[in-house]
Amino acid sequence: MTTINTQPSAAPVIQALRSIGYNAQTAISDIVDNSIDAQADFINIEFEYDNEESFIRIEDNGIGMIEAELQKAMTIGSKDPRDKREKDELGRFGMGLKTASFSLGKRLCVITKRNGTISERCWDLDFVSDKNEWLLYKSLPYEIKSKIGKVEGDSGTIVFIDRLDRFCGAGTKKVLKKESFFSKVKRIHKYLEMVFHVMLEKGLLITINGNTIYPWNPFLEDNPRRVEGEEQILRVNNKFVRVTPYVLPHPSTFNQVDYKYAGGLKGWRDQQGFYIYRENRMVSFGDWYGMFPKEVPSELVRIKVEFTNDGDADWKIDVKKSMISIPDEVKEDLKAIAKYYRQISQEMMLYRTKANRTGNRIKGTLNTWELATDDTNSPYILNRTHPILTGILNSVDIEVRRNINVYLKLVELGSPTNLLKTANLVKIEEQQIDEKLKKMVLDYAEMLFKSGIELNVEQVAETISVMAGFEGIELYTIKTIIEKEVNIHESRC
Ligand SMILES: Nc1ncnc2c1ncn2[C@@H]1O[C@H](COP(=O)(O)OP(=O)(O)OP(=O)(O)O)[C@@H](O)[C@H]1O
Ligand SMILES: [Mg+2]
C-alpha cells in the first residue's frame, strides 16, 4: 500500500493542545511532577503579577538536563507512553511540560543546568502559529533573560511561562485584577498541599511566593480519634492495589478552625469518597465514582486507594494526572469496603457512638436510633428494644401501649437526617466581633426587650440573627453578647 507522509499543521494543533482540559492547579501540579521525577527536594514557585507582563516561574534543584535531553524534553511527545517507567516515576506521556505550560500561557522558556553546564530553549506559540511550523528557539528572548534568573547550585531547572492569556487574561481584554490573580494562587497553594501531601510529609519542600506549602492529609493522620480501617490488598491485572479506609471523628470533636481545615478544598460532604494515589501522588479525590451519593451521614469516610505506575493503563490515567477510571476488576470490592465504612460513618453521625481503632462497629443497645439493614429505604428506625422504652411499654395497659407505638411511628417518619445540619454539630466557639457591631446587637436587644412583647434572651437572639446586617454573626455569639450584658445589669441591680 502506498502511504503519504502527512504532517499535522502546527497552528491548529497548538490550539488543540492548549485546550485539553487543564486548570491552573492541575497544570502547575504536572510541572511539579517533573521536578519530583528529577529528584528535586526543593521547588520554588513564583507567581508575579504585572498585568501583561505577569509570569509564572518554577525552579527546582533536581538533576537538570544536558542540552540533548532538554531538546527532547521540549518536543511534543518526548517519550512513548507505552514505555516502562522507573519505579516511582510520575511522568507517562511525554507531554506534560508542554501541554501544562501552554494551558497557562503562550510562551514557555526553560533553562536547565546539569553538572554546571547550562542549556536553554523557548517555545513561543505566537511565532509557531505565524509560521505554522514547529520552530523552537535555541536561546531565550532578551527580555526574559533578566526575569528568569539563574539556576543556583550545580544542577537544576527553571520553567518560565509568560504571556499568561489563559491564566490571567494577559493580552486579552479581560485581564485579571490583582486580587483575583492571587486568590487563584491561593487555590493552587491549597491544591498542592493536598495532592503532594505524602511527598511533603517525607521532606519535600515547596514554596509559593516564599510561603511554605504544608501537607494537608485527608485522613487526619495526627488525630487520635479517627478510625483507621483494616488495610486490604486487591489486584488489577496482577498488580497490587492497596486500600486503607478511614472514618474521621465526629464534627462535634473539632473546634471551628480545625473543622474547616479538615474539610479541605471542597468541604466535608464533598470530600468524602475514594482518594486515588499513583506513586504517592494523589491523582483523584473525594469521589464515589457513581457507586453512592455524597450524603452528610457518610461524610466521615475517606478511603485511600494506591496503585503503581505499571497500572496506568488499567486505571486509564489521563495526561493531566487528574482523572482515572476504576478498573472493573476492583469495582465490586471497593464498593463493598465503602459500604461497610459508610455505615460506620452513618452510625457515628447519628448516635455519636464511638468506633475503636480497628474499625469494628459498635452498636450500643442504648442507642435510641438504629440503622435499618437496608440503607436506601427509610434508613433510620427507633430502637424499640431500648430498656427504658421496654420498661414503659410493659408497665402500661394495651390501649396506652398502642397509642405510644403509633406516636413512635410518627416520630420515626420525621426523618432523623433533619438532625444532621452539620453546622449545628460543630463545637461552637464565640466569634471575635468588633465593638461597633456588638453595640448594635445590644441596641436592638434593648429595643426588643422594651417592645412590650415578652421575650427571653433566646428569642431576642434569634430575632437579631435573621436581621439584615447580622448574617455574619452566629446565633451563639449573639446570645452570649446579650447574656453577658443582661448579667452585668442584673448584678448591678
Ligand atoms: N524539571 C525538570 N528537570 C529535569 N528534567 C525534566 C524536567 N522537566 C521535564 N524534564 C524532562 O523532560 C521530559 C518531558 O517532560 P514532560 O512533562 O513533557 O513528559 P513526561 O514527564 O515524560 O510525561 P507526562 O506527559 O506524563 O508528564 C521528562 O520526561 C524529563 O526527562
Ligand atoms: Mg511530566
Q: Are residues 189 and 234 in the same domain?
A: no
Q: Are residues 339 and 479 in the same domain?
A: no
Q: Are residues 99 and 208 in the same domain?
A: yes
How far, in Å, from the CA of 173 to the mean position of ligand 1? 33
Shortest-distance Cα residue to atom 1 of ligand 1 = 35
Contact status, residue 24 vs residue 167, Cβ threshold 8 Å: yes
Q: Which domain holds residue 448?
A: 374-492
Specify the CATH number for the domain of residue 74. Answer: 3.30.565.10
Q: Are residues 184 and 234 in the same domain?
A: no
Boundary residue ending a domain (351, 384, 399): 351
How far, in Å, from the CA of 388 to the mean position of ligand 1? 67
Which one of 22, 33, 37, 85 would you pick to mutate in the ligand 1 pocket, going by the greatest count of ligand atoms within 8 A of its CB?
A: 37
Which one of 63, 79, 158 would you pick to mutate in the ligand 1 pocket, going by the greatest count of ligand atoms within 8 A of its CB?
A: 79
d(CA 76, CA 256): 48
d(CA 155, CA 153): 6
d(CA 68, CA 466): 67
Residue 23 lies in a domain: yes
Q: Which of 340, 206, 223, 348 is nearest to 281 (CA)?
A: 206
Specify the CATH number for the domain of residue 306. Answer: 3.30.230
Q: Are residues 478 and 406 in the same domain?
A: yes
Q: Are residues 238 and 318 in the same domain?
A: yes
Q: Are residues 311 and 418 in the same domain?
A: no
- Cell numbers given for 458: 433566646
Contact status, residue 319 vs residue 99, Cβ threshold 8 Å: yes
Q: Which ligand is nearest to the CA of 63?
A: 1
Looking at the structure of the chain, the number of domains it has is 3
Residue 367 lies in a domain: no
Q: Are residues 65 and 159 in the same domain?
A: yes
- Specify the pLDDT at position 159: 98
How far, in Å, from the CA of 400 to the mean position of ligand 2? 73
- DSSP letters for 208-275: ETTEEPPP--TT-TT-TTSEE---EEEEETTEEEEEEEEEPPPGGGS-HHHHHHHHTTT-HHHH-EEE
Residue 217 lies in a domain: no
Q: Are residues 177 and 29 in the same domain?
A: yes
pTM of the model: 0.75
d(CA 442, CA 481): 8
Q: Which of 296, 271, 268 is nearest to 286 (CA)?
A: 271
Q: Which ligand is nearest to the CA of 156?
A: 1
Q: Which atom of ligand 1 is nearest to the CA of 58?
A: 1
Which one of 78, 83, 104, 324 would you pick to mutate in the ligand 1 pocket, going by the greatest count of ligand atoms within 8 A of its CB?
A: 78
Residues with CB under 5 A from ligand 2 (ion): 34, 91, 96
Q: Are residues 232 and 286 in the same domain?
A: yes
Residue 221 lies in a domain: no
Shortest-distance Cα residue to atom 21 of ligand 1 = 91
Residue type, 37: D
**Ordered mean pLDDT values, 10 residues apiece, the chain (493 residues):** 88 89 96 98 97 95 97 88 85 92 97 96 96 95 94 96 93 88 96 98 97 97 87 92 93 88 94 97 96 93 96 93 94 94 85 46 50 50 73 85 75 52 47 80 80 76 72 79 70 42
Residue 193 lies in a domain: yes
- Specify the pLDDT at position 363: 34
Residue 4 lies in a domain: no
How far, in Å, from the CA of 39 to the mean position of ligand 2? 13
What residues line ligand 1, using a CB cutoff of 6 Å?
30, 33-35, 38, 60, 62, 64-65, 73, 78-79, 91-98, 157, 319
Contact status, residue 301 vs residue 335, Cβ threshold 8 Å: no
Shortest-distance Cα residue to atom 19 of ligand 1 = 94
- Specify the pLDDT at position 419: 42
Dihedral over alpha carbons 180, 181, 182, 188 (to 10 degrees)? 110
How far, in Å, from the CA of 74 to the mean position of ligand 1? 9
Residue 3 lies in a domain: no
How far, in Å, from the CA of 310 to the mean position of ligand 2? 16
Q: Are residues 148 and 195 in the same domain?
A: yes
Residue 297 lies in a domain: yes
- Specify the pLDDT at position 370: 63
Q: Are residues 469 and 396 in the same domain?
A: yes
Q: Which of 35, 17, 45 is nearest to 191 (CA)?
A: 45
How far, in Å, from the CA of 328 to the mean position of ligand 2? 27
Residue with cell 547550562: 118
Shortest-distance Cα residue to atom 9 of ligand 1 = 34
- Cell numbers given for 121: 530553549
How far, in Å, from the CA of 91 to the mean position of ligand 2? 4
Count how many residues are written for the chain. 493
C-alpha separations of 32 from 43, 67, 188, 388, 434 in Å? 8, 21, 12, 60, 42
- Specify the pLDDT at position 491: 45
Boundary residue ending a domain (149, 177, 212): 212
Paired sense of beta strands 369-371 and 117-124, if any = unpaired
Boundary residue ending a domain (161, 186, 212): 212
